Amino acid sequence: MQQNNGLDKNQLISFALFSMLLIGFMFYFQNKQQNEEQLKEGENSAKVTQTVQQNPAKPAIATNLNDSVKTTSIQSIELKNKELTLGISTLGGQISTVQLNEYKAYDKPADKNDKPLLLLDKNNSAYGFQFKDKTGKVFSTKDLVFSPSQKGNSVTMQANVNGAIIQFTYTLLDKYTVDFDVKTQGLSQLIQDQKANFIWDYNVRGQEKGRSQEQTHTEFNYTFNNYKSFDYDGRTTMDEASETLNWLAIKQQFFSAVIEPQNGFKNSKGSQEMVEEGEYLKKFNFDGQVALAGNELNQNFKWYFMPLDLQLLKSYEGKNFDELLPLGWSFIGTMNRWFFIPMYNFISSWGIAAGWVIFLMTIFVKIILSPVMFKQHKLSAMMRVIRPEIDEVNTKYKDADPMKRQQETMAVYRKAGVNQMAGCLPGLLQVPIFYALFRFFPNMIDLRGKSFWFAKDLTAYDDVIKLPFHIPFLQDHLSIFAIACTAVILIYTIMTAGNIQQPTQPGMPNMKVLMYIFPVTFLFFLNTSASGLSWYYFVSNAINILIILVINYWILDEKKIHAQIQANKQKEPKPEGKFQKRMREMMEKAQEQQKMQQQQAAKGKKK
């Protein structure tokens, strides 16, 4: 049989028909796709990105919004300096893209900060001015298509609405500031109110590793009272009907977008909604009124897209921007601003790794607190020596009134010259320090992205140990720094638990058990917190353990302490301090009330 490698007549006809049918389908779907793309151009933001050169063609003036959308292509104009790259869309005449050039966002697959840091992108932000015309209909600049005219780092956007001209001029200034000048002409012929509403919808994109921590720091911030007063809202709806806002910020953990109106926002309202998963953290909506002059909107605004660096924020004099950095209220914030941040900056100027900077910070804090810590550990040793006599009192007055037993116990301490309250001072000092550092580590932008050992970012948790399941509060990982910190706190607790006096009153909890539980609960707190905080407290508690060992074995002599206590007993007791006197009087009063209640109860039974 001869092999035929060609095509017969029927095959040729079939092939020709199939080709014609295929070409017809291609033309049909191509036309359909073009129609769909043209429709999308009118409904959504820019599909075509085009940088408009200087002296462009005059804008096409449409008689209504629909004609404008259909006849004008959507473009994006780029403005750029060292710090920012902006994209300004002709749809709405608004800033549609903001990239901070000197920073990177967290990339989860790579587990490091190597993505472009985009505050605005992919239509996650939309803002504009909303007006009501004389027929009662509402229209917004967000829906208009503007025509651009660019000159250097300034672009003017112009739109025509039924004969009225709306003009936005954006000028990228130094660093992180964008001047936003708004002018209208002929608007007074269209609208009936002496006000416009500035509407801003913003879906905040996550930039950091710790989602829950970043969500906590993502919130409304604003000033009023001529920049003197500051407030924030991270959970509920915002309602400032009586105040004029000098600026409004939607801030994240390390970055913020701020809008500042020349004459302020009045009757401001806002809402926020948590996003459980995905690239966005929260959905924000803001509505604030701006005043018109003669039914025309001629007002200057400024946008700021900036990192939350304290030195940078302070450089904007009179704006009160440094309040954007949540370092804590009152004394806590003062401690961070004037102690911990300067200390960190000073040590880091030596050029050492961030983890070792934190280590030396811990040493310096311990040196400052060393006199108080020494008194605390000396008191602990004295209480350990006097423990047999306290146990003897508890045994002697075992069946007595609890108040009587407590009074006798305090008398033993007083005769021995042991002030129980002196041991509370170091603990009280640690509370503001702990809270200050709790604010410091997750908000110190200089620590952002700094690695140390197995922690890739000291402002986020380390997750070397990944779990195949999710545990409430712990999530799906175990932080090595958190585990290490919990372990040293537990060791320190065991070493000091012997000094804790167990309350003898019926129904009182076992204090030692509670002390052992506390370090375990600390693990749940630290596991999703900044690893820098866990590292600091690991070093701090390790030093505490070392101090106890040195004091117990090389400095304090328990025999001498015992002799001193015995000598104190032979002396006249020191007069009661004000606090001790007050405590004794309170206990005596409580004891009298208890006796009266018992007597009344006894009379009631006899009746």
| Residues 556, 410 within the same domain | yes
Q: Residue 565's pLDDT band (boundaries 50, 70, 90)?
A: low
Verify that 179 and 74 share a domain, yes or no: yes
| ∠ Cα 89 66 199 (to 5°) | 50
The answer on 192 and 232 residing in a single domain is yes
Alpha helices, DSSP H, located in 244-386: 310-315, 330-335, 341-348, 354-385
Task: Report if residue 36 sits inside a domain.
Answer: no
Same domain, 292 and 241: yes
Q: Indicate the pLDDT class of residue 167, thresholds 50, 70 and 90.
A: very high
Long-range pairs, 171-174, Cβ under 8 A, ≥24:
172/79, 172/80, 172/81, 172/84, 172/86, 174/81
Q: Is residue 460 part of a domain?
A: yes
Look at residues 292, 326, 360 and tell me which one is the last residue of a structural domain: 326
Structural domain includes residue 395: yes
Same-domain status, 151 and 284:
yes
Q: Among the three residues 306, 326, 346, which one is the final residue of a domain in this structure?
A: 326
Domain region containing 579: 575-607
Residues contacting residue 604 through CB under 8 Å, at least 6 positions apart: none
Which two three-digit tokens encode residue 299?
């007002």
Report if residue 530 sits inside a domain. Answer: yes
Average pLDDT of 486-496? 84
Is 73 in a helix, a strand, or coil?
A: coil
pLDDT for 73: 80
Residue type present at position 591: Q
Residues 188 and 265 in one domain: yes
Provide the pLDDT confidence category of residue 21 given band limits of 50, 70 and 90. Answer: very low
Q: Are residue 321 and residue 369 in the same domain, yes or no? A: no
Residues 201, 166, 126: CA angle, nearest 5 degrees? 10
216 plus 364 within the same structural domain: no
**Same domain? 385 vs 321:** no
Residue 13 lies in a domain: no
Q: Does residue 125 or residue 135 have the better pLDDT?
A: 125
Q: What is the amino acid identity at position 134?
A: K
Of 300, 326, 352, the residue that ends a domain is 326
In a domain, 10, yes or no: no
Say whether both 317 and 349 belong to one domain. no
**Residue 51 confidence class, pLDDT cut points 50, 70, 90:** very low
DSSP 546-597: HHHHHIIIII--HHHHHHHHHHHHHSPPPPPPHHHHHHHHHHHHHHHHHHHH
Residues with Cβ within 8 Å of 464's Cβ and at least 6 positions away in sequence, in order, are 454, 480
φ/ψ of residue 457, rounded to 5 = -150, 115
pLDDT of 414: 72
List, in sequence order, every beta strand (DSSP E) within 435-558.
465-471, 475-478
Identify the bridge partners of residue 471 per DSSP, sorted by sequence position: 475
Residue 376 tokens read as 């605390």
Say if residue 269 is in the same domain as residue 371: no
Predicted confidence (pLDDT) per residue in 96-120, tens digit: 999 999 999 999 888 888 899 999 9
Instruction: Output the domain CATH number for residue 191.
Output: 2.70.98.90
20 falls within a domain:
no
**Residue 469 neighbours by CB under 8 Å, 6+ apart:** 476
Domain count for the chain: 3
- Let me know how long the chain is: 607
| 138 within some domain | yes
Higher pLDDT, 105 or 521: 105
- Indicate whether 582 and 438 sit together in one domain: no
In the chain the first and final C-alpha atoms are separated, in Å, by: 129
